[in-house]
Protein backbone atom coordinates (compact mmCIF):
# COMPACT_ATOMS: atom_id res chain seq x y z
CA UNK A 1 0.00 0.00 0.00
CA UNK A 2 2.78 2.44 0.89
CA UNK A 3 4.60 1.82 -2.38
CA UNK A 4 1.36 2.18 -4.34
CA UNK A 5 0.60 5.58 -2.76
CA UNK A 6 4.12 6.87 -3.37
CA UNK A 7 4.21 5.54 -6.94
CA UNK A 8 0.78 6.97 -7.76
CA UNK A 9 1.68 10.38 -6.33
CA UNK A 10 4.99 10.30 -8.18
CA UNK A 11 3.28 9.60 -11.52
CA UNK A 12 0.53 12.19 -10.97
CA UNK A 13 3.03 14.91 -10.04
CA UNK A 14 5.31 14.01 -12.95
CA UNK A 15 2.44 14.51 -15.40
CA UNK A 16 1.20 17.69 -13.72
CA UNK A 17 4.66 19.24 -13.70
CA UNK A 18 4.88 18.65 -17.45
CA UNK A 19 1.55 20.38 -17.96
CA UNK A 20 2.58 23.23 -15.65
CA UNK A 21 5.78 23.68 -17.64
CA UNK A 22 3.84 24.07 -20.90
CA UNK A 23 1.50 26.62 -19.29
CA UNK A 24 4.43 28.55 -17.77
CA UNK A 25 6.21 28.73 -21.11
CA UNK A 26 3.10 30.03 -22.88
CA UNK A 27 2.32 32.51 -20.09
CA UNK A 28 5.89 33.78 -19.91
CA UNK A 29 6.37 32.70 -16.29
CA UNK A 30 10.13 32.50 -16.63
CA UNK A 31 12.85 32.88 -14.00
CA UNK A 32 15.47 35.11 -15.62
CA UNK A 33 18.94 34.80 -14.01
CA UNK A 34 20.39 37.77 -12.14
CA UNK A 35 23.51 38.33 -10.06
CA UNK A 36 21.95 36.55 -7.07
CA UNK A 37 20.87 33.49 -9.08
CA UNK A 38 22.58 30.11 -8.98
CA UNK A 39 21.52 29.26 -12.53
CA UNK A 40 22.45 30.81 -15.87
CA UNK A 41 19.63 29.71 -18.19
CA UNK A 42 16.11 31.28 -18.18
CA UNK A 43 13.81 28.58 -16.80
CA UNK A 44 10.04 28.33 -16.27
CA UNK A 45 8.87 28.21 -12.69
CA UNK A 46 5.74 27.28 -10.75
CA UNK A 47 6.25 23.51 -10.91
CA UNK A 48 5.51 23.27 -7.20
CA UNK A 49 1.81 23.66 -8.03
CA UNK A 50 1.83 19.95 -8.93
CA UNK A 51 3.11 19.06 -5.45
CA UNK A 52 0.40 21.20 -3.87
CA UNK A 53 -2.42 19.61 -5.88
CA UNK A 54 -1.34 16.02 -5.27
CA UNK A 55 -0.72 16.52 -1.55
CA UNK A 56 -3.98 18.39 -0.91
CA UNK A 57 -5.94 15.70 -2.77
CA UNK A 58 -4.43 13.18 -0.37
CA UNK A 59 -5.39 15.38 2.61
CA UNK A 60 -8.97 15.57 1.30
CA UNK A 61 -9.16 11.78 0.83
CA UNK A 62 -7.79 11.15 4.32
CA UNK A 63 -10.27 13.65 5.79
CA UNK A 64 -13.34 12.39 3.90
CA UNK A 65 -12.51 8.80 4.83
CA UNK A 66 -12.55 9.77 8.51
CA UNK A 67 -8.89 8.92 9.14
CA UNK A 68 -7.95 12.58 9.70
CA UNK A 69 -10.06 14.81 11.98
CA UNK A 70 -12.24 17.21 9.96
CA UNK A 71 -10.86 20.37 11.57
CA UNK A 72 -7.28 19.21 11.01
CA UNK A 73 -7.90 18.38 7.37
CA UNK A 74 -9.70 21.66 6.68
CA UNK A 75 -6.95 23.70 8.36
CA UNK A 76 -4.29 21.96 6.25
CA UNK A 77 -6.26 22.50 3.03
CA UNK A 78 -7.13 26.12 3.84
CA UNK A 79 -3.67 27.10 5.10
CA UNK A 80 -1.85 25.24 2.34
CA UNK A 81 -4.03 26.82 -0.34
CA UNK A 82 -3.48 30.33 1.03
CA UNK A 83 0.28 29.85 1.22
CA UNK A 84 0.36 28.31 -2.26
CA UNK A 85 -1.70 31.06 -3.89
CA UNK A 86 0.34 33.82 -2.28
CA UNK A 87 3.50 32.04 -3.43
CA UNK A 88 2.15 31.74 -6.97
CA UNK A 89 1.26 35.45 -7.10
CA UNK A 90 4.74 36.25 -5.82
CA UNK A 91 6.20 34.04 -8.57
CA UNK A 92 4.19 35.93 -11.21
CA UNK A 93 4.45 39.54 -10.15
CA UNK A 94 6.24 39.79 -6.81
CA UNK A 95 4.71 40.83 -3.49
CA UNK A 96 5.98 42.94 -0.55
CA UNK A 97 7.55 40.86 2.21
CA UNK A 98 5.13 42.19 4.84
CA UNK A 99 2.10 41.18 2.77
CA UNK A 100 3.45 37.67 2.15
CA UNK A 101 4.25 37.12 5.81
CA UNK A 102 0.86 38.49 6.83
CA UNK A 103 -0.95 35.83 4.81
CA UNK A 104 1.50 33.20 6.06
CA UNK A 105 0.64 34.21 9.63
CA UNK A 106 -3.08 33.81 8.86
CA UNK A 107 -2.39 30.31 7.55
CA UNK A 108 -0.42 29.59 10.73
CA UNK A 109 -3.32 30.77 12.90
CA UNK A 110 -5.77 28.48 11.07
CA UNK A 111 -3.44 25.57 11.76
CA UNK A 112 -2.99 26.45 15.43
CA UNK A 113 -6.76 26.72 15.91
CA UNK A 114 -7.01 23.11 14.73
CA UNK A 115 -4.31 21.96 17.15
CA UNK A 116 -5.21 24.16 20.11
CA UNK A 117 -1.98 26.12 19.97
CA UNK A 118 1.57 24.88 20.17
CA UNK A 119 1.54 21.44 21.82
CA UNK A 120 3.47 20.76 24.98
CA UNK A 121 7.19 20.43 24.53
CA UNK A 122 8.59 17.26 26.09
CA UNK A 123 11.66 18.14 28.15
CA UNK A 124 13.96 16.17 30.47
CA UNK A 125 12.28 17.68 33.54
CA UNK A 126 8.76 17.10 32.18
CA UNK A 127 6.46 18.71 29.64
CA UNK A 128 7.03 22.44 29.23
CA UNK A 129 3.77 24.40 29.46
CA UNK A 130 3.91 27.45 27.18
CA UNK A 131 0.48 28.93 27.83
CA UNK A 132 -0.44 31.87 25.60
CA UNK A 133 3.18 32.13 24.48
CA UNK A 134 2.64 28.82 22.74
CA UNK A 135 0.42 30.60 20.21
CA UNK A 136 3.03 33.24 19.52
CA UNK A 137 5.81 30.69 19.23
CA UNK A 138 3.60 28.48 17.08
CA UNK A 139 2.98 31.27 14.54
CA UNK A 140 6.70 32.01 14.41
CA UNK A 141 7.52 28.33 13.86
CA UNK A 142 5.03 27.94 10.98
CA UNK A 143 6.07 31.18 9.24
CA UNK A 144 9.73 30.23 9.68
CA UNK A 145 9.10 26.77 8.21
CA UNK A 146 7.40 28.32 5.16
CA UNK A 147 10.26 30.71 4.53
CA UNK A 148 12.90 28.13 5.42
CA UNK A 149 12.09 26.11 2.31
CA UNK A 150 11.88 29.30 0.29
CA UNK A 151 15.40 30.27 1.38
CA UNK A 152 16.77 26.79 0.70
CA UNK A 153 15.20 26.43 -2.74
CA UNK A 154 18.14 27.92 -4.62
CA UNK A 155 19.83 25.09 -6.50
CA UNK A 156 18.58 22.18 -8.58
CA UNK A 157 16.88 19.37 -6.69
CA UNK A 158 17.72 20.43 -3.12
CA UNK A 159 14.28 21.48 -1.81
CA UNK A 160 12.48 18.60 -3.55
CA UNK A 161 14.99 16.06 -2.22
CA UNK A 162 14.59 17.47 1.30
CA UNK A 163 10.80 17.28 1.04
CA UNK A 164 11.06 13.69 -0.19
CA UNK A 165 13.24 12.74 2.78
CA UNK A 166 11.38 14.57 5.56
CA UNK A 167 7.88 13.62 4.38
CA UNK A 168 8.87 10.03 3.61
CA UNK A 169 10.71 9.47 6.88
CA UNK A 170 7.98 11.27 8.80
CA UNK A 171 5.30 9.04 7.25
CA UNK A 172 7.15 5.92 8.39
CA UNK A 173 7.78 7.27 11.89
CA UNK A 174 4.20 8.36 12.59
CA UNK A 175 2.94 4.87 11.72
CA UNK A 176 -0.50 3.95 10.49
CA UNK A 177 -2.48 3.76 13.75
CA UNK A 178 -4.76 6.33 15.37
CA UNK A 179 -4.87 10.07 14.72
CA UNK A 180 -1.26 10.24 13.59
CA UNK A 181 -1.94 7.43 11.13
CA UNK A 182 -4.41 9.69 9.33
CA UNK A 183 -1.49 11.85 8.27
CA UNK A 184 0.44 8.98 6.74
CA UNK A 185 -1.41 9.19 3.41
CA UNK A 186 -0.78 12.96 2.90
CA UNK A 187 2.86 12.56 3.91
CA UNK A 188 3.42 9.66 1.54
CA UNK A 189 1.69 11.66 -1.22
CA UNK A 190 3.90 14.68 -0.47
CA UNK A 191 7.00 12.48 -0.65
CA UNK A 192 5.90 10.87 -3.92
CA UNK A 193 4.92 14.19 -5.48
CA UNK A 194 8.28 15.69 -4.50
CA UNK A 195 9.95 12.77 -6.25
CA UNK A 196 7.83 13.32 -9.36
CA UNK A 197 8.87 16.97 -9.45
CA UNK A 198 12.50 16.08 -8.74
CA UNK A 199 12.75 14.26 -12.08
CA UNK A 200 12.14 17.58 -13.82
CA UNK A 201 14.46 19.53 -11.52
CA UNK A 202 17.76 17.61 -11.69
CA UNK A 203 20.51 17.28 -14.27
CA UNK A 204 19.20 19.49 -17.12
CA UNK A 205 16.63 21.43 -15.10
CA UNK A 206 13.41 22.03 -17.04
CA UNK A 207 11.35 23.87 -14.41
CA UNK A 208 11.73 25.45 -10.97
CA UNK A 209 9.50 24.81 -7.98
CA UNK A 210 8.78 28.46 -7.26
CA UNK A 211 7.42 29.94 -4.03
CA UNK A 212 4.12 28.16 -4.66
CA UNK A 213 5.90 24.85 -4.03
CA UNK A 214 8.53 25.74 -1.46
CA UNK A 215 6.07 27.65 0.73
CA UNK A 216 3.49 24.89 0.56
CA UNK A 217 6.04 22.24 1.51
CA UNK A 218 7.21 24.30 4.48
CA UNK A 219 3.63 24.77 5.67
CA UNK A 220 2.75 21.11 5.17
CA UNK A 221 5.70 19.85 7.18
CA UNK A 222 4.84 22.30 10.00
CA UNK A 223 1.25 21.07 9.85
CA UNK A 224 2.47 17.47 10.09
CA UNK A 225 4.57 18.33 13.13
CA UNK A 226 1.74 20.05 15.01
CA UNK A 227 -0.98 17.56 14.06
CA UNK A 228 1.06 14.49 15.07
CA UNK A 229 2.54 15.94 18.26
CA UNK A 230 1.01 14.15 21.21
CA UNK A 231 -0.28 11.34 18.97
CA UNK A 232 1.75 8.24 18.29
CA UNK A 233 5.52 8.17 18.61
CA UNK A 234 6.53 11.46 16.94
CA UNK A 235 6.82 14.85 18.61
CA UNK A 236 8.01 18.32 17.63
CA UNK A 237 11.63 17.35 18.29
CA UNK A 238 11.28 14.52 15.76
CA UNK A 239 10.34 16.91 12.96
CA UNK A 240 13.05 19.39 13.88
CA UNK A 241 15.60 16.56 13.83
CA UNK A 242 14.44 15.41 10.38
CA UNK A 243 14.78 18.96 9.05
CA UNK A 244 17.92 19.72 11.04
CA UNK A 245 20.25 20.27 8.08
CA UNK A 246 18.00 22.86 6.43
CA UNK A 247 17.39 24.51 9.81
CA UNK A 248 21.11 24.78 10.57
CA UNK A 249 22.04 26.11 7.11
CA UNK A 250 19.32 28.78 7.01
CA UNK A 251 19.64 29.83 10.67
CA UNK A 252 23.43 30.13 10.66
CA UNK A 253 23.30 32.05 7.37
CA UNK A 254 20.76 34.58 8.63
CA UNK A 255 22.54 35.03 11.97
CA UNK A 256 25.86 35.53 10.20
CA UNK A 257 24.36 38.11 7.84
CA UNK A 258 22.68 39.91 10.75
CA UNK A 259 25.92 40.07 12.74
CA UNK A 260 27.67 41.46 9.66
CA UNK A 261 25.10 44.24 9.40
CA UNK A 262 23.61 42.94 6.16
CA UNK A 263 19.91 43.01 5.27
CA UNK A 264 18.56 39.69 6.48
CA UNK A 265 15.53 39.57 4.16
CA UNK A 266 17.37 40.73 1.05
CA UNK A 267 17.95 38.10 -1.66
CA UNK A 268 21.48 36.69 -1.61
CA UNK A 269 23.67 33.71 -2.49
CA UNK A 270 25.42 33.14 0.81
CA UNK A 271 23.75 30.01 2.18
CA UNK A 272 26.11 27.13 2.84
CA UNK A 273 24.59 25.08 0.03
CA UNK A 274 25.08 27.98 -2.42
CA UNK A 275 28.69 28.45 -1.33
CA UNK A 276 29.35 24.75 -1.85
CA UNK A 277 27.64 24.64 -5.25
CA UNK A 278 29.95 27.40 -6.53
CA UNK A 279 33.01 25.84 -4.90
CA UNK A 280 32.27 22.38 -6.29
CA UNK A 281 30.84 23.62 -9.58
CA UNK A 282 27.88 21.25 -9.26
CA UNK A 283 24.33 21.47 -7.94
CA UNK A 284 23.88 17.70 -8.02
CA UNK A 285 26.92 17.08 -5.82
CA UNK A 286 25.53 19.38 -3.13
CA UNK A 287 22.04 17.86 -3.31
CA UNK A 288 23.46 14.34 -3.01
CA UNK A 289 25.69 15.41 -0.10
CA UNK A 290 22.77 16.95 1.77
CA UNK A 291 20.65 13.86 1.11
CA UNK A 292 23.40 11.59 2.43
CA UNK A 293 23.75 13.69 5.60
CA UNK A 294 19.99 13.46 6.10
CA UNK A 295 20.02 9.67 5.97
CA UNK A 296 23.25 9.01 7.86
CA UNK A 297 23.07 11.76 10.51
CA UNK A 298 19.60 13.34 10.82
CA UNK A 299 17.43 10.23 10.58
CA UNK A 300 19.07 8.34 13.50
CA UNK A 301 18.63 11.37 15.77
CA UNK A 302 14.98 11.66 14.72
CA UNK A 303 14.42 8.00 15.55
CA UNK A 304 15.98 8.55 18.97
CA UNK A 305 13.47 11.34 19.71
CA UNK A 306 10.64 8.85 19.15
CA UNK A 307 12.22 6.31 21.51
CA UNK A 308 12.85 8.77 24.36
CA UNK A 309 10.72 11.93 23.78
CA UNK A 310 11.74 13.52 27.09
CA UNK A 311 15.33 13.73 25.86
CA UNK A 312 14.35 15.04 22.43
CA UNK A 313 15.75 18.52 23.11
CA UNK A 314 19.12 17.01 24.07
CA UNK A 315 19.20 14.87 20.95
CA UNK A 316 18.36 17.84 18.70
CA UNK A 317 21.07 20.03 20.22
CA UNK A 318 23.59 17.21 19.76
CA UNK A 319 22.47 16.88 16.14
CA UNK A 320 22.48 20.60 15.32
CA UNK A 321 25.89 21.51 16.76
CA UNK A 322 27.93 19.60 14.12
CA UNK A 323 25.51 20.71 11.39
CA UNK A 324 25.97 24.34 12.41
CA UNK A 325 29.73 23.89 12.38
CA UNK A 326 29.41 22.37 8.90
CA UNK A 327 27.45 25.43 7.73
CA UNK A 328 30.04 27.80 9.19
CA UNK A 329 32.93 25.92 7.59
CA UNK A 330 31.08 26.05 4.25
CA UNK A 331 30.94 29.84 4.54
CA UNK A 332 27.29 30.38 5.45
CA UNK A 333 26.47 34.09 5.49
CA UNK A 334 29.71 35.30 3.95
pLDDT value of residue 175: 82
**Residue 48 confidence (pLDDT) above 90:** yes
Domain boundaries, the chain: 2-330
**Residue 232 confidence (pLDDT) above 90:** no
Q: pLDDT tens digits for 22-46?
A: 999 999 888 887 666 666 788 899 9
Q: 11: which residues sit within 8 A by CB, 6+ positions away?
A: 196
Q: 219: which residues sit within 8 A by CB, 6+ positions away?
A: 79, 80, 83, 104, 107, 111, 142, 145, 146
Question: How far is it, in rounded angstroms, from Cα 39 to Cα 23?
Answer: 21
Question: How far is it, in rounded angstroms, from Cα 37 to Cα 205?
Answer: 14
Predicted TM-score of the model (pTM) = 0.95
Question: How far is it, in rounded angstroms, from Cα 98 to Cα 238?
Answer: 30
> Contact at 8 Å (CB) between 40 and 201?
no
pLDDT value of residue 37: 61
Q: Which residues pair with 43 in a beta bridge?
A: 31
Torsion angle in degrees (nearest 10) through CA of 265, 270, 274, 277: 160
**Residue 148 confidence (pLDDT) above 80:** yes
**Rounded mean pLDDT of 200-211?**
89
* DSSP structural state of residue 121: E
DSSP 303-326: HHHHH-GGGHHHHHHHHHHHHHHH
Q: Tally helices (H) and strands (E) across the chain.
A: 15, 4
Amino acid sequence: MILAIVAGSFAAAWVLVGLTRMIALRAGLIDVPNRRSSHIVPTPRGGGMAILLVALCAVAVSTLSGRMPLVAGLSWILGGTVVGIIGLIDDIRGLPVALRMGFQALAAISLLVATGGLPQLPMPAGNLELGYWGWVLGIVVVVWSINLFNFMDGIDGLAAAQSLFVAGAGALLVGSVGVAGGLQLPLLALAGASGGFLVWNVATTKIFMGDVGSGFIGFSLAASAFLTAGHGSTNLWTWLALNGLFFADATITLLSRWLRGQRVLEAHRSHAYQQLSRRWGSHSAVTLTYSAINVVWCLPWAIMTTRTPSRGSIFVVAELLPLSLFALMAGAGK
